[in-house]
Each structure stands twice: as C-alpha cells, then as structure tokens.
Structure 1
C-alpha cells in the first residue's frame, strides 16, 4: 500500500490522475470483479503494490477478460514464479528492482565463488551478501554485536565497500544510494519470459 500511495503521489505531481484506487485481499483466487472494474474504467496501466502471487492471478484474469493494459509494480513482483502463475500474460509487465548485481565489477570474486558451487546469484543474493559485509564491518569497527551499537555506527553515514559497491546510511537508517532500474518482462530466445537483461532505465 505504501508503494502504491507513493507512486500515486508521484503520478499526481506530474499531472497524471488515477481513474480508480482499489485494495485487494491477499490469498484470494478470483479477482474477476476487480478486473471488470479496471476494464470498465478503461485503464492505461495497472500499478500494483503487492506480491507476485496475486499479481500473477490478476494478470491472467486481465488477459482472460481482454484487458491489454500493462501491469507495473515493485520488487515484490520480481520472482520467476510470476510467470508460472500468469503464464503468457506476464509478458510486457514492468517492474522496478535494483540493478543486476552480477554485472557490478565489485562482485567479480563473489560471483566466481558462487559459480564454483553451481549457484547463479540472481535477484537479492548478492544484495544479501552485501548486507552481511556491512554487518561484519560494523562489528569489526565497534568490537560489538549489540544491535544498538551497530546501528549507531551505521547511522554515522560511513561508506562500507561491498560486492554491490559502497553502501552508507543516513541518521534514520535509510540507504543513501537507492538504485532502481525498470525491467520489462520479455520472451527470450529460449521462449521463456524473464526480466533479467531487460533493463529499460536507470
């Protein structure tokens, strides 16, 4: 909801307008009534602030009812299971997600170590690795594992070198360099629909 609210705020600030704003009950299977309302409203795009499980069902039901508007959403939709649920309806979906960390030169050694174990560190894998690096640095600098002490050190804004590049936090604990890329889910040469390699903007 917070993501949808902020996106709507940004849309309105640029002169756009919403034709409808709806909430859903996660875990439901039938979203046909919602899709009918979207179709009647003649929407140009559906922005969804939830997870891939419901997004996949809504997408499939949108296409079943002949609604061709693309769906757009955040990182909660970024999972290959989206395609398993939505099927061909997933093609053309737009999602925001951090840049592919596997392409970051800082990740070269970690990438090689993962590949040696037959692991493709896609999605959040290298970001999780970076989080551990940040904690390890904070623990080394403070000589402590106390959460409050670690947070106090991190909130000073000192950059920590990681596999995804330098990471620093402000006084509130928010990252000072939130990178996001827009991805379009497309069919590849293998016939599978995926987002990797389909970056649109930075």
Structure 2
C-alpha cells in the first residue's frame, strides 16, 4: 500500500508541481563519520540547483532541493529513499556509499524515480539492470584493476596486506584489487577484514609490523585509513598505505595529520582542474568552501539531469532516461555520455599522493 501511495504522490507531483516547482533530492551520509563527505554532496547539489534556477529552471519551472540522510547504512538508505519518494521528488542525486545506493536504487526503480549517483563505485549498482540508475563516476572493477597492477609492478616482491571493512564498497574494492594482483602472479601475505568505527587501530598495525608487511592496501573509508596510518607512524613503522577513492577528501588529511604524507590512492581525474569547472570552483571558494572529493560530481549529476530534461522536453522519467542514453552532456566533469547500463562510456582512474597537506596527482 505504501508503494501505491508513493507512486500516486509522484504522479501528482509531476502533473501538478507546487507553485511551479520541481522537487529533486540529494541523499548521503549527512551525519556520522562520513558527514564531511555528505556535506560535499549537499553543497554540490545546492550549487547546481542555484545555477539551474538562475538560468530559468527546467522547462520554465524552478527547482527545489530536499536532503535525506542515509548514514551510509543500507536500511537507513531505504528509509531515506522512501521519504524522498513520498515527498514527490522526480530525481535523486545520490547516494554516496555503494552499500546505500544499491538498496535505495530498487526503491527508486519501483517508484519510477531517476537516480544518478555521483560516487557509488561498486559494479553491482549498474549491473542490476535497472533503467533508472546512472552514475557519473567510474567503477571499482576498473579501479581494482589499476590498483592490482600498481601493487604488482611496485611491490610484487614484498609482503602485501589487503584489509577491508566488510562493506559493499570496501570489500568490493579490496576483492577487485586482489583479483588483479593474483592474476599478475602475486599472492598477498594477509587478506582480512577490520572493524570500522573504532578509535584505535594500533593492534592491527602492530600485527602488520610483526608480519613484516611492506604495503597495506585498504578497501574502506578515509576515517579508518587515517587512523591506521597515524598508528603506523606512531610506531615509526614505514608501511606504505594505499587506498581507493574515498581517501580523496580533506578530512583524511585533517584526521591523519602529518602521517598522511606519502599515502597513495586512486581517484577519478580531479574535476577542479577542468577548464569547464573553473567558474564553479571559483564560486565555491568565494564561499570559503573547497569543492574537493565528490562535490563537483554531485554538481555534475544535477547538470546532467537538467540538460536531459531540456533535451527530452519533459519531466517524465521514461523520456528523461531515453535522453540520458541518447545524448552527450557538457558538464564540470567534461563531456560525458552513458552506456546502456548507466555507466560512463569512458572509465578512468588516476593515482594521487598526499603531499604537504593536500592530494596531488602522482608524477
């Protein structure tokens, strides 16, 4: 019955938008350990909506944004999705975590709501075959391939440990990295999970040091990565930390402090360096906000939706989805288009290193 009411609410919102408004949502971890990242998604979506409205809105109607907190938790993500649907959104920017995006995507699919994730990298999101699901980031099978090759090329003769936090994102990334490392003929010395959310990982780091581990690849989020590298440096243990895209946030550097220096990770090409993003980056910085990590991907997801609506000449989900699959879009992320799964047609990951308190492309 709830699904029926949600579908009716959506149909009414499309047919009779309140005061000429179109309601869209942004969903992510707005509280909890990943609140820093959730705020990036929110700020990117807010700026996109402001610019869309300044340009006349969509189909002559102004856009209004509503925010949902999913805590990066699967069950909370379902609740957040159901709330957004009952509110009458036609489109959602989100979610951040793959473990939240995947269950939420099934709720949006049943209600006919378009979802574009700025940052959920687990392949399952678009492998489900849901027509309404897209993402403006690359996938972890490509990221793991890059990481596995790098580990094999640079530490193939050393002891390698692979840690993961048992989440959809963290374990998925560690597994993809392990697959490629093993394909290259290298067997890791340690592959194990860790408990996320702890304040101290000195015991885990001590065990790695006792095992003479030279490099730790971590599939997980920046909070635990920062605490682990701090614990290692406190022991004067020079283990090389390597991780994935969630490490691309100022919050990692703030938590890790000087211990962040030298940490390697993969991330998509930093959109702050795109000529297309220069004016938007300038506006963020004028507000004393640095649009790092996935901020501009959230903005770009909003841009893509608005352009697809304009090309479709309609807010009807099926017509907007058809436009997303048919056209290319000029965004702060550069020119992008989607394949039949809803993935970017061009997948790409770049190596970065933390240096002097910021992350920069690895030479």
Q: Structure 1 residue 199: deviation in Å?
A: 0.6
Distance 1:33 1:122 in 2: 32
1:95 aligns with 2:265: yes
1:176 aligns with 2:345: yes
Native 8 Å contact 1:104 1:163 kept in 2: yes
Counterparts in 2 of 1:163 and 1:48: CA distance versus 1, 3 Å? same
The residue aligned with 1:86 is: 256
Q: Structure 1 residue 140: deviation in Å?
A: 1.6
1:138-149 paired onto structure 2 within 5 Å: 138-149=308-319
Q: Structure 1 residue 108: deviation in Å?
A: 3.2
Deviates more, 1:143-152 or 1:84-93: 143-152
Native 8 Å contact 1:114 1:120 kept in 2: yes
SS in 1 for 2:320: helix
Native 8 Å contact 1:20 1:41 kept in 2: no
Q: Structure 1 residue 91: deviation in Å?
A: 0.9
Native 8 Å contact 1:154 1:168 kept in 2: yes
Q: Structure 1 residue 11: deviation in Å?
A: 1.4
Deviates more, 1:138-147 or 1:58-67: 138-147
1:167 aligns with 2:336: yes
Q: How many residues align?
A: 193
Native 8 Å contact 2:249 2:292 kept in 1: no
1:129 aligns with 2:291: no
Distance 1:116 1:83 in 2: 22
The residue aligned with 1:21 is: 191
Q: Structure 1 residue 112: deviation in Å?
A: 4.1
Q: For 1:2-31, what per-residue CA distance to the aligned partner results, in whole angstroms no more than 9, with x for missing partners? A: 011111111122222211011111111232
The residue aligned with 1:72 is: 242
Q: TM-score w.r.t. structure 1 length? A: 0.84
- Structure 1 segments, 4+ long, off by >6 Å, are none
Structure holding more strand per residue: 2
Structure 1: unaligned runs, 5 residues or longer: 188-192
Counterparts in 2 of 1:142 and 1:35: CA distance versus 1, 3 Å? same
Q: Structure 1 residue 40: deviation in Å?
A: 2.3
Q: Structure 1 residue 120: deviation in Å?
A: 3.8
Q: Structure 1 residue 167: deviation in Å?
A: 0.9
Q: TM-score w.r.t. structure 2 length? A: 0.49
SS in 2 for 1:185: strand
Structure holding more helix per residue: 2
Counterparts in 2 of 1:182 and 1:43: CA distance versus 1, 3 Å? same
Native 8 Å contact 1:99 1:179 kept in 2: yes
Counterparts in 2 of 1:83 and 1:122: CA distance versus 1, 3 Å? closer
Structure 2: unaligned runs, 5 residues or longer: 1-170
SS in 1 for 2:331: coil
Distance 2:344 2:222 in 1: 25
